[in-house]
Structure 1
Amino acid sequence: MKALLLLVMLTACAASPQDLTGKMFTFPEETNTANVKMNLPTQNLNAASVCFRFITDLRRRHSLFSLSTNQFSNHFLILKDEPANSLDIYINNKSVRFEGLNYELNTWHSVCSSWDAESGLGQLWFDGKPTVRRFFGESQISQPIVVLGQEQDSFGGRFDAKQSFVGMMSDIHMWDYTLSACEIQRYMDDKYFTPGNVLNWRALTFQATGRVLIETKDMTCS
């Protein structure tokens, strides 16, 4: 196990699909190198939903989920900026701030966001509570790269340590359609939800670079 963690921490490691049930990615330091890149089998997306869980103590700006294409560096970005109790969603490089969230530090949070190219509408769910639907624009996502731990200021790169994520992330799923409210609630409750058909935490293909650890998520003692 120690050898596996050392390999993930110190080298770029391309992996075949792995079942990460009960695991988490740990990003333990501010850096412009540590990241996890994920391969997307779907080349073109007319809609997308992404869900994940995270914990951090950061107050500064940091990226939670970064999807970039040759067309837009922030084609689908979930970003925490400095204002408290808010998250920013970028679609097609256009940002919308969702406020009124109960955003606590050092607490596990569950996030889902969806967007549909036909209507241009997007929405955020934070710890089971939906926000209003907002207009972002209508543009297909083509040949994307997804990065965790860093924000892509250009396609696949140009990382800035001051925007890096420090903390833990788990249960990352992505779908090529907008999830129903009931399906999102099942994800939030971690009960019988349909795994992502684009990114699936239970069969995830990824490449970890830098100091990134794969650890057991349950750190409580019984």
Structure 2
Amino acid sequence: MAISGTMGVFIFLLTHFVTSLADKQDLSGKMFTFPVESDTAHVILVPNQSKSLTAVTVCLRFFSDLSRPQSLFSFATPINANAFLLMKREWKGVIEINEYDNVVLFRELEYIANRWNSVCATWNSQTGIAQLWVNGKPSTRKGVRRGRDISGTPSIILGQDQDSYGGTFDKAQSFVGMLTDVHIWDKVLPYPEIALYMNGIPQKTGGNVINWSSLDFTIKEYVLVEELVNGLTN
């Protein structure tokens, strides 16, 4: 039996509510491993707050050998599946920021296969300016969308690109590899703090929206929580 759009959103929000009752976990020194290409395996992250975002910083580390496009981070709202998407493109050294279907490509970034890569992405609604940091080096600054915030109950997913709120995944864009140290802030993180993250130096406080050391999450299908391996040296 088909589920109406309204009922589907209700069930999704109910799932988030039930999930939020679970104890948060400290994943310091651990990682999510996505062992296979699929259109089902993913991790749902439950934010510490659901207020509208007028700015955002997303930081994470990834380890993969894929050259094809793959989703690094997917943030959707009920009105837009691409409220804030980080996608590693098929072209070497290119990462896409998609913010409310406004796409910008950042080129000549020095991420490398089969090693840990540190990524931070920032965006400010007042100026529309977005920027990426990859393994300690900044990208150029580019305009994405200006003057509007990110509003609505968020659906935050690792391992897949949401083509609809909370679902409609594409196997060809799934993440295969390992992810760790995922944090989200409701502000543009200043350079000194980004530099600390890039160098693997523990910060006094993690993300206030998503915090890796106090994480509320649900694993769907074939994803593992494992001890961090291969080190974090860039």
**By the TM > 0.5 criterion, same fold?**
yes
Distance (whole Å) between structure 2 residues aligned to residue 207 and residue 186 of structure 1 = 28
After superposition, where does 1:39-188 map in structure 2 within 5 Å?
A: 39-43=46-50, 44-138=52-146, 139-142=148-151, 143-188=153-198
Q: CA RMSD in A?
A: 1.4
List structure 1 runs of 4+ shifted beyond 4 angstroms: none
Say whether 1:208 aligns with 2:219.
Answer: yes
Aligned length in residues:
208
SS at 2:192 equivalent:
helix
CA distance in 2, matches of 1:61, 1:192: 30
Q: Report how far residue 41 of structure 1 moved.
A: 2.8
Partners in 1 of 2:173 and 2:122 — Cα distance?
23
Do 1:87 and 1:99's aligned partners in 2 also have CA atoms closer than 8 Å?
yes
Output one character per residue of 1:132-181: Cα deviation in whole Å (capped at 9) or x when no partner: 11111132112211100000001111011111000000000010000001
1:23 positional shift: 0.1
Q: Which 10-residue stretch deviates more, 186-195 or 121-130?
A: 186-195
The C-alpha deviation readout for 1:4-41, integer Å capped at 9, x for no partner, is: xxxxxxxxx94420000000000000011100011123
Long gaps (5+) in structure 1: 1-12
Fraction of identical pairs, as percent: 44
Could you tell me which of 41, 51, 59 is aligned with 1:34?
41
Q: TM-score, normalised by structure 1?
A: 0.90
Q: Which runs of 5+ in 2 are unaligned?
A: 1-17
> What's the secondary structure of 1:54's corresponding residue?
strand
Write the deviation string for residues 114-143 of structure 1: whole angstroms up to 9, x where unpaired: 111111111100001011111111321122
Q: Tell me the distance in 2 between the aligned counterparts of 1:75 and 1:133.
A: 19
Structure 2 contact 85–97 (Cα < 8 Å) conserved: yes
